[in-house]
Amino acid sequence: AQSVTQLDSHVSVSEGTPVLLRCNYSSSYSPSLFWYVQHPNKGLQLLLKYTSAATLVKGINGFEAEFKKSETSFHLTKPSAHMSDAAEYFCVVRVVGTASKLTFGTGTRLQVTL
């Protein structure tokens, strides 16, 4: 079965410093992977997706993620954090054998301080 593990439940960075949110996946097949963001009292918004094209994926708001098959990782990064980046981030894998079912990680809450 496919699964994702988000290695940190909470990450705190200072504004202007780099962001790293870690995600490892488990899949017997080449996976489709996504990162979603959820701001307080809002639904989830797609940040970026990997679907076996380029291994470095660029998303919205300056975020990017690199698919590393050898490490089974799909970490999310941003060079410089902004206060508006404070939110919860979810790493997600598509369930193989289904067209649309997704399995979500447990989330990483990003705090950005001045």
Partner 1 sequence: DVKVTQSSRYLVKRTGEKVFLECVQDMDHENMFWYRQDPGLGLRLIYFSYDVKMKEKGDIPEGYSVSREKKERFSLILESASTNQTSMYLCASSLGTGSNQPQHFGDGTRLSIL
Q: Does 24 bind partner 1 (CB under 8 A)?
A: no
Q: Does 104 bind partner 1 (CB under 8 A)?
A: yes
Q: Does 106 bind partner 1 (CB under 8 A)?
A: yes
Strand partners, 65: 57, 76
- CB within 8 A of 97, min separation 6: which ones? none
Q: Does 111 bind partner 1 (CB under 8 A)?
A: no
Q: Does 34 bind partner 1 (CB under 8 A)?
A: yes
38 neighbors 48 (Cβ within 8 angstroms) = no
Q: Does 32 bind partner 1 (CB under 8 A)?
A: yes
* Cα–Cα dist 5/12, whole Å: 19
Give the up-direction half-sphere exposure of residue 63: CA atoms within 13 A in the CB hemisphere. Answer: 23
| Binders of partner 1 in range 81-100 (CB under 8 A) | 90, 94, 99-100
**Positions that interact with partner 1 (CB under 8 A):** 9, 32, 34, 36, 41-46, 49, 51, 90, 94, 99-102, 104-107
